[in-house]
Amino acid sequence: MALKLEGLLIPKERNFFKMLNDQAKKAEEGAEMFEKFLESNSTEDFKKVIKAEDEGDELRRNTMINLAATFVTPVDRDDISAISKQLDDILDELQTATERMNVYKIKGDGHCKRMANLVRKATQSISKAIVHFKENKETALRDVLEAKTYNKEMKEEYSKALENLYGGQLTMEVMKMREIYRHIRDCGKATAETANCIMETIVKTT
């Protein structure tokens, strides 16, 4: 009886930093697959982006299930939930951009590729921030600021893309490409929001 009672009183340890890191790595993987899709425009790479998003959804679900079952968390549960959601949003936006390109039969141009490269770099910085969060918050803060810098560069590239796009007639193809640019920009916005959530959590726990 004592052993059974002890088992009930000792809560199961859940590693939320690992869960968030798993989500961050999946977002990084999705960004890498998206870059490859822009280069190849292949069905195989298209499927890899979609698969990464599906797996990201499962990781997000796992994080939330564990969060709901835990009384004490290493940081505020709302912060864990917010970071988890934003990481999932990165993959959602990558999936949307990929699907639109597939439907419209549009190949990514130089602007798409440069923006996608900056999104990938931002996801790498976010992954580093989550790894460093527990042991070295100062380094983690530098990581998220780096991610935000990449997003700023991406917004500048987005503006250049639109400027070039509107140099001629507003055709259907131009409108389609504008939508693709917007979805890739939204991927960047999702990385910036993730970085903001992590930064706010760092400040609250320092």
CATH number reported for the structural domain that contains residue 136 in this entry: 1.20.58.220
Residue 6 lies in a domain: no
HEC per residue, 164-176: HHCCCCCCHHHHH
Residue 60 lies in a domain: yes
**Long-range contacts for 5-14 (Cβ within 8 Å, ≥24 apart)?**
11/70, 11/71, 11/72, 12/69, 14/66, 14/69, 14/70
Residue 1 lies in a domain: no
Residue 70 lies in a domain: yes
Cα(101)–Cα(179) distance, integer angstroms:
9
Structural domain count, the chain: 1
Neighbours of 192 (CB within 10 A): 21
Range of the domain at 82: 16-205
113-161 pLDDT tens trace: 999 999 999 999 999 999 999 889 999 999 999 999 999 999 999 999 9
Query: Residue 122 to residues 14, 80, 152: CA-CA distances in angstroms?
Result: 27, 19, 10
pLDDT more than 90, % of the chain:
84
Which of 2-11, 25-34, 159-168 shows the lowest per-residue confidence on average (mean pLDDT)? 2-11
Residue 9 lies in a domain: no
* The pLDDT of residue 13: 67
Residue 108 lies in a domain: yes
Task: Say if residue 11's pLDDT is above 80.
Answer: no
Task: Say if residue 10's pLDDT is above 60.
Answer: no
* The pLDDT of residue 206: 82
Task: Say whether pTM exceeds 0.85.
Answer: yes
Residue 193 lies in a domain: yes
* The pLDDT of residue 12: 63
* The pLDDT of residue 17: 94
Residue 165 lies in a domain: yes
Q: In this predicted model, which residue has the larger pLDDT, 12 or 134?
A: 134
